[in-house]
Amino acid sequence: MTTDKKTWIESLSVGDSVCDCRFKHLKISKIYEVWTPIAPSNILFKLTDWIPLAIFSFIWDARGWLYTKLGLVTLTDKDLILEDGAQCSAQHCCDPVDHAREHPNV
């Protein structure tokens, strides 16, 4: 993800307009932030064969809480709910309205 795209995603707020993957310019009605741990989780996934699911779920939730408290997470995306009810990923689907690309005839 480019620095410009990351800055744009961080600046999004409710009421802003975006161009979605259907080439419609719509306002954002809700935003859900997607946070990703900076540290790798490979070791935890190797434990899934040896420990019961309930214990693994507890460890996974505790890891998420701890990473958040220590600041070891980064904002990677925002899931957007648009004014027509459609859901859109800011990183993969939506663009700023002033994107300077021509819309295809759909």
Residue 67 included in any domain: yes
The number of domains in the chain is 1
Q: Band of the pLDDT at 31, cuts 50, 70, 90?
A: very high
Whether residue 100 has pLDDT greater than 70: no
Find out whether 72 and 64 touch, Cβ atoms under 8 Å: no
Residue 106 included in any domain: no
The pLDDT mean for the chain works out to: 82
In this predicted structure, what is the pLDDT of residue 94? 83
Buried b (16+ CB within 10 A) or exposed e, 47-76: eeeeeeeeebeeeeeeeeeebeeeeeeeee
Residue 30 included in any domain: yes
Residue 103 included in any domain: no
Residue 59 included in any domain: yes
Average pLDDT over residues 8-20: 89
3-class secondary-structure state, position 106: coil
CATH number for the domain that contains residue 80: 2.30.340
Residue 12 included in any domain: yes
In this predicted structure, what is the pLDDT of residue 20? 84
Residue 105 included in any domain: no
In this predicted structure, what is the pLDDT of residue 29? 94
Whether residue 38 has pLDDT greater than 90: no
Token output for 38: 């900076």
Query: What is the 3-state secondary structure of 21-50?
Result: CCCCEEEEEEEEEEEEECCCCHHHHHHHHC
Whether residue 76 has pLDDT greater than 70: yes
Per the structure, the complete domain to which residue 90 belongs is given by 3-96
CB atoms within 10 A of CB 28: 20
